Amino acid sequence: MNQKEISAFELLPKRHWIALGLTCLFIATLLILIPVQQELERRTYATQLPVPEKESDVEIVTPKWDMNKIKQGDTLAQLFSREKLSSQTLHALTQSEHGKSLGQLNIGDKIGFHIENDILVGFRLEKSLFESYEFAFSGNAYQSQHIIIEPDVVETFTQGTISSSLFESALEAGMDNNTTMKLATIFGWDVDFALDIRNGDSFSLIYEEKYLEGKKVGNGDILIARFENQGNVYTAVRYEDKKGYTQYYTPKGLSMRKAFLRSPVDFTRISSRFNLKRKHPILHKIRAHKGVDYAARRGTPIKAAGDGKVIFAGRKGGYGKVLILQHGTSYTTLYAHLKAFRRGVRVGKKVKQGQTVAYVGSSGLASGPHLHYEFRVNGRHRDPLKVRLPHAKPIAPTQKEHFLHYAQVMLMRLESHMHGDYYAYMDVGR
């Protein structure tokens, strides 16, 4: 009897063949899908943009801005409302990285809007020629960047002799009003520019000029200056200490700054001096004039002569509106015939030297607008024009050696310019 031939199919159970078939189907499916997935990933990667990881990678494309200055009384909320932008938009702007900068607007700052289809897509806040903030809408939020432009700084020498006024002579020497005011401020503790200036007085200085792309955009700090007044020579050197604090000192390290200003108003005429036997211009009686009168236009700012605290702000008989400041335990200054006090100036308020505290007026018994200024030491009246003013702190002992060397180099540089000599100097770092 011949045995029947048995096939491989009959030797394996049926369930094994089903499992084998499913495995083959799975492998075939993978072979088809893997190339497709790889191709999809390749195409997706090729069209994706790189995501910036830090601010420096963010490139904000902005339009040519039409900038407008911030004026007195302007608020950001009002400015956004004028542009028909919602408070929600302003809130979203403040939530960006540099949003806090929008809470520090000053008069003279400039802002610009970029609006498309009633949506704020760009905003710019310009604090100066050298500093600004830009915001751009991206996705569902605002990205921002803080832009600082470093100008090119060139040191410039100039000098002049006064024939009429400091401002006119400084203008002839190529100085702008801002630099002239800085010069007057530096020497304002030693020289009363309303009284002491004489024809023939002279000045010389080295100061910084700032340039952007080859165009002058302003002046910087005065590095060293000399002022000769009625035969007296005053020299001031700008010095920055290790903590970044800047002040002007004499070449020997004494502070140019005194505890008090010589005059609380700028460039005004003295109409009446300290005189204990003066005849009152209105009462026509002999009445001691225990201060100095500065004739000035109504509304001229009055500065605090020194750091102190307001101990009186109100009316006082013939003095009209009066402000009295206490400076430490020994000194007080009085300002009378005022038009008004500066906002926020009230009893108990602390003030800083040079801060505007009031404005010239003619309240009380006054023949015209002027400031009556008194200076008292331990309750006794002293002539503000002659009293010896205490100095502020000198250069710190730990920095005096370095300062003296630096001051000597700066003096040599100034003198070389004045005399037209040539010297080669080293840079003196801090």
Instruction: Encode the chain (430 residues) as per-residue pLDDT tens digits.
Output: 444 445 554 555 666 566 666 666 666 665 555 554 554 444 433 333 333 344 444 444 546 777 889 998 888 999 999 999 999 999 999 999 998 898 888 889 999 999 988 889 999 999 988 899 999 988 788 999 999 999 999 999 999 999 888 899 999 999 999 999 999 989 887 887 767 788 999 999 999 999 988 899 889 999 999 999 989 999 999 999 888 889 999 999 999 888 888 889 986 778 676 555 555 455 455 456 688 889 889 999 999 999 889 999 999 988 999 999 998 878 999 999 999 999 999 999 999 999 999 999 999 988 889 999 999 988 888 888 888 777 778 898 999 999 999 999 999 999 999 887 644 444 444 3
* Domain 63-148: assigned CATH number: 3.10.450.350
Output b/e per residue, 184-223; b: 16+ Cβ within 10 A.
bbbbbbbbbbbebbeeebebbbbbbbbeeeeeeebbbebb
Exposed, middle or buried by CB within 10 Å (0-12, 13-18, 19+), for 395? buried
Q: Could you tell me if 336 and 371 are in contact, meaning their C-beta atoms sit under 8 angstroms apart?
A: yes
Tally Cβ neighbours within 10 Å of residue 83. 12
Instruction: Please tell me if the domain spanning 63-148 has the same topology as the one spanning 151-257+391-430.
Output: yes
Output b/e per residue, 63-78; b: 16+ Cβ within 10 A.
eebeeeebeeebebee
Exposed, middle or buried by CB within 10 Å (0-12, 13-18, 19+), for 277? exposed
Residue 91, φ and ψ in degrees, nearest 5: -60, -45
The pLDDT assigned to 196 comes to: 78
* Predicted TM-score (pTM) of this structure: 0.59
Task: Give the C-alpha separation, 355 to 371, whole Å.
Answer: 16
Amino acid at 420: G
Correct CATH for 151-257+391-430 of 3.40.630.30, 1.10.1660.10, 3.10.450.350, 3.20.20.80: 3.10.450.350
The pLDDT assigned to 257 comes to: 82
For the domain made up of 269-382, give the CATH fold.
Glucose Permease (Domain IIA) (2.70.70)
Residue spans of the domains in the chain: they are 63-148, 151-257+391-430, 269-382
Distances (CA, A) of 221 to 50, 205, 218, 237, 275: 44, 11, 10, 11, 40
The pLDDT assigned to 63 comes to: 62
Amino acid at 266: D
Tokens for 427? 């840079």
The pLDDT assigned to 148 comes to: 93
